[in-house]
Amino acid sequence: RIWFLFLPVSIGCWCSLACGSWETGSGQLHYSVPEEAKHGTFVGRIAQDLGLELAELVPRLFRVASKTHGDLLEVNLQNGILFVNSRIDREELCGRSAECSVHLEVIVDRPLQVFHVEVKVRDINDNPPIFPESKKRIIIAESRPPETRFPLDGASDADIGVNSALTYRLDPNDYFTLDAQNSLEQMSSLSLVLRKTLDREEIQEHSLLLTASDGGKPELTGTVQLLITILDVNDNAPEFYQSVYKVTVLENAFNGTLVIKLNATDPDDGTNGDIVYSFRRPVSPAVVYAFTINPNNGEIRTKGKLDFEEKKLYEISVEAVDKGNIPMAGHCTLLVEVLDVNDNAPEVTITSLSLPIREDTQPSAIIALISVSDRDSGSNGQVTCTLTPHVPFKLVSTYKNYYSLVLDSALDRESVSAYELVVTARDGGSPSLWATASVSVGVADVNDNAPAFAQPEYTVFVKENNPPGCHIFTVSAQDADAQENALVSYSLVERRVGERALSSYVSVHAESGKVYALQPLDHEELELLQFQVSARDSGVPPLGSNVTLQVFVLDENDNAPALLTPGAGSAGGTVSELMPRSVGAGHVVAKVRAVDADSGYNAWLSYELQLAAVGARIPFCVGLYTGEISTTRPLDEVDAPHHRLLVLVKDHGEPALTATATVLLSLVESGQAPQASSRASAGAVGPEAALVDVNVYLIIAICAVSSLLVLTLLLYTALRCSAPPTEGACAPGKPTLVCSSAAGSWSYSQQRRPRVCSGEGPHKTDLMAFSPSLPPCLGSAEGTGQREEDSEGLKEVSLPNSYIEHSLIKCI
């Protein structure tokens, strides 16, 4: 609550003189204010005294708190003045205590500060003296001698100091006078003193008015009517050995514990000397609850539970009355002091919690305010506080039994997201008692972790001719943060792939991380697509990381073998050749050449003759992998002069694709063969010469490209080997170049060994090496391609020269 106070100048000046004094010391402000001050009474300029600017009171959440009297005083946030908010009654707050003050805690935030203010409440004379009874009856035997004293119950004043200093006066009379004495224990003894011998026959009853006045200004008074009855019997009253007895008793004493045994004597004989002990009326309810007295022997024992924290001292008035016809009484006062034992555990109060706490909060920040208390006294009420060990927090004592819970070291929510702290308060008693209070400190997340992929790069294999929009891979990144700081979205790192943008080939789903191929991929056009996917969280500011994807486009058998035309005169895959009839077995008469745009097994070609008629006897065969047509036996006269051969060219794909070449062979006599050969040679001089030149340039180009490729691969291998090892069985492959001239031509193969992650041990290397094989013909027991796989995963395949030459052409 904020009170906007407008006080007259006169009131402000009076308050500054009467109640606005303050002092600083031990980090605490002291003010004073009289009790019963009106609402709005000026107490002090608390903001100025604390060194705070008025403009920062509201932004820093300036507030005043009190554990038990929070509404008595308030602060005007407009001018920083502490003023009286509600009625202050010193007697209600502190009773008979000489010192009375209200403890306030002033708390401001940003940064959190706590100030302690003590406001002393000054007493005013607002309580008149009060007697226990409005009428007091006293019985006095006429035989009592002069100067006999009769104790009276004094008046009580709730005020303190001068305001409670009482003076008594008695109505003027001839028989009685008043005697008031103050003891060393600050106790007043009030007695009615007999001035001269009584004569019951003259006056049977005296009525006197006793008036008590306090020392305040203005003076307040209280009265009691004394009704004195005169008896004419028993003239000796019982007497105690002492007028005041002092004893001590532990507050945990059992019921029935003997406190004291009083003994009074009466010199009379018989029933006039028999004494009955009792508590003199009126008896305090606290005395009736706590003690009992034996009327016969004067033993006083405990009856109820004693509590040092509730009442430390009992003042008991005891009287001894004889059994005479006119009973006479003796009086004494018993002071019972209750000794403290450690029977109250400390109390822990936690306030002003600043939770949850951000994980980037700097050490020494205040998390909570803690106060402890113990109702016991002395060492039993001295409390020490400790905190759960091995936590990044500590307790700092601020003032007496007040502590601050302070951050001691840096926090990391990803390591520990919450702390369960236990504050233990232990007193100094024997045995000591303790109390605990738990505080759950949650750590709020800060975006300090970027999304992380399991691997820096992934290798993906996709078959060509895939349907548009097919799912090829899923990337996933984990973020150690929480909530929106851990919400990951994915995107492509855009770049150009040739003439086109990367986004025209692939896309990535922002939430799931699924990567899609947007169009069919063609191995012959694009064998490797390498790109990066970015993962970013939703924190402020956002953090991100990238992962590399290598997409290898796998070849499918989608290209049929294509025949190479040997000469300008040939067309439609037809080859025409002249041969002498006198050639022997194994003579090469023609060669069919073909290439396949695919790669690997899909481009591995084989050749075979197709017979025109069942059972036809043909003296020719074709090399399975060379395409060379040769004779199987010497020719004779019965062989036809013209032969039309169909050569089927087939790759090794699944399913296999084929092409058919037609070879026309004409047999000539030995004499005509040279001429025909001459004409053929003459007609082919130009093309053959051109072909030779082309082959020379082709070989030079092949060697140059091969050297450049080997140099590049060596450099790439060195860079990859120097890179730090990655997790899992992942390692880049090495390209392999195999050249052989066993068949008079180059053979080339490049087999990639992709990087594949597996948790089942080291990866295997598949190496495909090609070596030429020259089987004599289909009709003989020719050797076929062998594929063997050893324990190390090495595969060896024999391929024809036509495939090797075609591979070299593709490489160039």
Is 80 exceeded by the pLDDT of residue 728? no
41 half-sphere exposure, CB direction, 13 A CA radius:
23
CA dist., res. 489 & res. 167, Å (int): 90
Rg (CA), the chain: 59
Mode of pairing for the β-strands spanning 452-453 and 402-407: unpaired
The answer to whether domain 452-554 has CATH 2.60.40.60 is: yes
CA dist., res. 83 & res. 37, Å (int): 10
Cβ pair 335, 248 in contact under 8 A: no
> Average pLDDT in the 517-533 region?
90
Mean confidence (pLDDT) of the chain? 78
> Average pLDDT in the 387-402 region?
88
CATH of 347-420 among 2.60.40.60, 2.160.10.10, 1.10.1200.10, 3.20.20.70: 2.60.40.60
The residue extents of the domains of the chain are 30-122, 135-231, 239-339, 347-420, 452-554, 562-668
- Write out the two tokens for 307: 């509590």
Per the model's pLDDT, the better-predicted residue between 326 and 451 turns out to be 451
Over the stretch 677-713, which tens digit does the pLDDT of each residue have? 444 343 434 444 444 555 677 788 888 888 888 988 8
Is 90 exceeded by the pLDDT of residue 578? no
Determine the 3-state secondary structure of 35 from DSSP.
coil
Residues comprising the chain, all counted: 812
Output 36-41 pairs: Cβ under 8 A, ≥24 positions apart: 36/87, 36/88, 36/89, 36/124, 36/126, 37/84, 37/88, 38/84, 39/84, 39/85, 39/86, 40/3, 40/5, 40/7, 40/11, 40/83, 40/84, 41/11, 41/15, 41/83, 41/84
> Average pLDDT in the 507-528 region?
91
Burial class of residue 17 in the structure, from the number of CB atoms within 10 Å of its CB (0-12 exposed, 13-18 middle, 19+ buried): exposed
* Cα distances (angstroms) measured from residue 765 to each of 336, 385, 556, 602, 768: 101, 68, 22, 21, 10
Cβ pair 436, 446 in contact under 8 A: no
CATH of domain 562-668: 2.60.40.60
Residue 233's pLDDT is what?
A: 67
Over the stretch 420-448, which tens digit does the pLDDT of each residue have? 999 999 988 888 888 998 888 989 888 88
User: How many C-beta atoms lie closer than 10 Å to residue 300's C-beta?
Assistant: 24
CATH of 239-339 among 3.20.20.140, 2.60.40.60, 3.40.605.10, 1.10.10.10: 2.60.40.60
Is 70 exceeded by the pLDDT of residue 758? no
Q: Rounded to 5 degrees, what are φ and ψ at 390?
A: 60, 40
SS3 content of the chain, % helix, strand, coil (to 5): 15, 40, 50
Over the stretch 15-66, which tens digit does the pLDDT of each residue have? 333 334 433 333 578 888 888 788 888 888 888 888 888 888 888 888 888 7
Is 50 exceeded by the pLDDT of residue 794? no
CA dist., res. 83 & res. 45, Å (int): 9
Residue 754's pLDDT is what?
A: 35
Is 50 exceeded by the pLDDT of residue 785? no
Residue 249's pLDDT is what?
A: 93
Residue 672's pLDDT is what?
A: 56
Residue 755's pLDDT is what?
A: 33
Most confident of 594-603, 762-771, 781-790: 594-603
Superfamily of domain 30-122: Cadherins (2.60.40.60)
Cβ pair 443, 356 in contact under 8 A: yes
Mode of pairing for the β-strands spanning 574-580 and 658-668: parallel
Q: Rounded to 5 degrees, what are φ and ψ at 105?
A: -110, 120
Is 90 exceeded by the pLDDT of residue 301? yes
Closest CA to 804 of 576, 568, 627, 663: 627
Cβ pair 344, 89 in contact under 8 A: no
Report which DSSP code applies to 271.
Answer: G
CA dist., res. 800 & res. 592, Å (int): 12
Residue 27's pLDDT is what?
A: 52
CA dist., res. 107 & res. 116, Å (int): 9
For 123-216, list the strands marked E by DSSP.
135-141, 149-152, 167-170, 176-182, 188-194, 205-213
Question: Which strand (E) or helix (H) includes residue 806?
Answer: helix 801-811
- Write out the two tokens for 47: 């903001």
Is 60 exceeded by the pLDDT of residue 549? yes
Over the stretch 144-197, which tens digit does the pLDDT of each residue have? 889 888 888 888 877 777 777 788 888 999 999 988 876 544 456 788 999 988
- Write out the two tokens for 524: 């012959």
Over the stretch 213-246, which tens digit does the pLDDT of each residue have? 888 888 888 999 999 988 766 777 899 999 999 9
Burial letters for 484-514: b for 16+ Cβ neighbours within 10 Å, e otherwise? Answer: ebbbbbbebeeeeeeeeebeebbbbeeeebb
> Average pLDDT in the 582-591 region?
87
Over the stretch 466-500, which tens digit does the pLDDT of each residue have? 999 999 999 999 988 888 888 999 999 998 888 88
Closest CA to 793 of 704, 733, 720, 709: 733
Closest CA to 308 of 205, 381, 372: 381
Do 30-122 and 452-554 show the same overall fold? yes
> Average pLDDT in the 119-133 region?
83
**Topology at the third CATH level for domain 135-231:** Immunoglobulin-like (2.60.40)
Is 60 exceeded by the pLDDT of residue 676? no
Q: Rounded to 5 degrees, what are φ and ψ at 632?
A: -100, -15
- Write out the two tokens for 98: 């000489």
Residue 296's pLDDT is what?
A: 92
Closest CA to 341 of 368, 305, 391: 305
CA dist., res. 764 & res. 362, Å (int): 52
Question: Which strand (E) or helix (H) includes residue 279?
Answer: strand 275-279
Residue 780's pLDDT is what?
A: 33
